[in-house]
Chain A
Amino acid sequence: MLLPAFSYERPAELPGALALLQRLAAAGVSYRVHAGGTDLVPELKRDEAAIGTVVSISRLEALRGVRARPDGGLEVGALTRLSALAEEVRERFPVISDTALQIASPQIRNRATLGGNLLVDNRCVYFNQSPDHRDVHAGCFKAGGEVCHLVPSAKRGAQPLCRARFVSDLAPVLILHDAKVVLARAGAERELLLKDLYAPDGIQRTQVAPGELLTRVLIPASATRRVHYLKLRIRQALDFPSLGVAVSLDGKKLGVALTGVNTHPVVLAYEGALDATLKQACEDGPKRVAPLAQDFFSPAYRRQMIPVLIRRAVAVLSKKDTP
C-alpha cells in the first residue's frame, strides 16, 4: 500500500512547531500531526483522510520523558514512547505500566507515543479499511457521505453522528488517575481533565482545536488510589480492546471507566459501601454504553462482560488492600 503524496515538516523546537501549526490552521491547509505514526501511517495508507501536510513532532525532545512534579505527581511528555512509559512509571504506577504493555506489539510500542494513544482514531469495520474494501459500500458519514452502515436508520442531518468506537487503552486508566492534559497553541496553553478531552462523535473525536498540540499529561500525586485494568480481546497481542474496563477503589469511592464500547470513554463514579456501589456499577455499566456489531465479539456479549470484568477488577483490588 503506497502512501499518498504529502508535504512533510519536522520542526526542531516546540515554539516553531506551534507557529507552523498556527500558520497551517489559519491558511486552512489540511495537516496531520505525526508522533509515532503507528496510527497515522496506516490511516494515510488506507486513504482515510485528505492530507496536505504531515507535521512530525518526533524531534521535539522536550515533549519526551517522565518528570516528577513539585507536588509529588508526575508529568509525562506526550511524545514518551509506550515502551519507555512502561519502564519509567513501573514503580509509581504499575497499572499504567501494565496497561501500556497490553497495547499493540513490542515493535509498535517502541514507536507509539502516549499522546498518540490518547488521540488514536476511533475504529469502525466499515471505515478503517483499504479503499478497495471501503468502496464496496457507499461512502459513510465519516467519509463525507450520506449513510452510516452501522446504524442504517441514522440521518446525516446538520450534525451527523458517527458511531465508530473509542479504543485507547490508556485513556480509561489515566482518567481514573484524574489525569489532565495540556493543550498548547502558539503563545498559549490550556489544561483539561482527560475525561473532558473527548467528543461524543467518531468524526470530531476530541476537543483538540486546529493549531493545538497535546504536549503533556499530568498525573496528580493524590492519584495513588488503586486502579486495575482488564482488557477483553481475542489474541493477547495486537488486538484493540473489544472492551476495556478500568476500576478504581479509594476508600468509599468506586470509579469505573470503559473503553471499546462507545464513541468516547464512559466514566462512572460512586460513593458509599462497596457492596452497594459495586451492585450499582454493574447495573449501570451495560446501560451506559452503545456497543455495535463492529467487533469479533457480539454487542450483547461485550455488554454482559462489563459487570464480569468490574467484579473481577474489584476482587483484584480488594485482595491488594488486605495485606
Chain B
Amino acid sequence: MEKRLVKLTVNGVAHERAVAPAATLLEVLREELFLTGTKRGCDVGDCGCCTVLLDGAPVLSCLVLALEADGAEIRTIEGVANGNQLHPVQQAFVDHGAIQCGFCTPSMVLNAVHLLDTNPSPDAAAVKTCVSGTICRCTGYTKIEQAVHAAARACTKTP
C-alpha cells in the first residue's frame, strides 16, 4: 500500500520517513533508524520488551502503527544515558545485578525512568506494577525491584 510520511522526534532528533500503513513503530525504530536497543520479542503485546516512551508514557512499540505515532516524541533506551554518564536507573541496574541476558533491560529501565519521573518515592506496590508489563526470563524480578528502589533513593538524594 501507498507509503505516507511520518514525523517522529526520537531522543530529541527530528526524523521524517515514508512508511507503509502496516509498519509498526518498532520496525521503524529498528530497521529505519537503526535504534536496535528496542527489542522485538513476541511482537504481539505479551512480553513488553519493545517498550518505548511515547509522549512520556511507556507503550509497546510492536502494537503501535508508525503512522499512529505521527508528531510524537519518542524516547528509546538510546536516549536514557547522558553521553557516557549512565542514568541513575541504569547505574542501579548494574550495581544490583539486575541484568542477566539483557533482553528485557531496555524495557525495564524505560518503565523505571517513567515511574521515577512521575512518582519519585514509589512504594513496593508501585515498583511491582512498574515491572509487571515486561517479562524477564532470567532474574526472577527481585533484583530488578531492588534496583528500582535503589534508583529512587539515588534520585531523591541528588538535588
Contacts and interface: CB of A to CB of B under 8 A. Distances in A.
Contacts of B90: none
B48 interface: yes
Contacts of A104: 45, 133
A1 B50 CA distance: 14
Contact of B133 (A3, A41, A108): A108
A1 B26 CA distance: 12
Give the size category of A's interface with B: 20 to 34
B22 A2 contact: yes
B22 A3 contact: yes
A8 B67 contact: yes
B44 A107 contact: no
Interface in A103-156: 104-108, 110-111
A6 B111 contact: no
A108 B63 contact: yes
A38 interface: yes
Give the size category of B's interface with A: 20 to 34
Contacts of B44: 1, 41-42, 45-46
B68 A37 contact: yes
B105 interface: no
B20 interface: yes
B31 to A, nearest CB: 11
Contacts of B54: 110
Given A3-B24, A41-B63, A111-B60, A106 B130 contact: yes
Contacts of B64: 37, 41, 111
Nearest to B47: A238
Contacts, number: 91
Interface string B34-61: 0000000001111010010010011110
Nearest to B132: A237
Contacts of A54: 21, 65
A209 interface: no
Interface string A44-67: 011000000010101000000000
Contacts of B20: 5
B67 A38 contact: no
B133 A107 contact: yes
A54 to B, nearest CB: 7
A106 B133 contact: yes
15 contacts: A2-B22, A3-B23, A4-B22, A7-B2, A42-B63, A83-B57, A106-B58, A106-B132, A107-B58, A107-B59, A108-B63, A110-B54, A110-B59, A111-B63, A111-B64
Interface string B107-128: 0000100000000000000000
Contacts of A233: none
A10 B67 contact: yes
Interface string A7-31: 1101000000000000000000000
Nearest to B62: A41
A38 B21 contact: no
Nearest to A111: B59
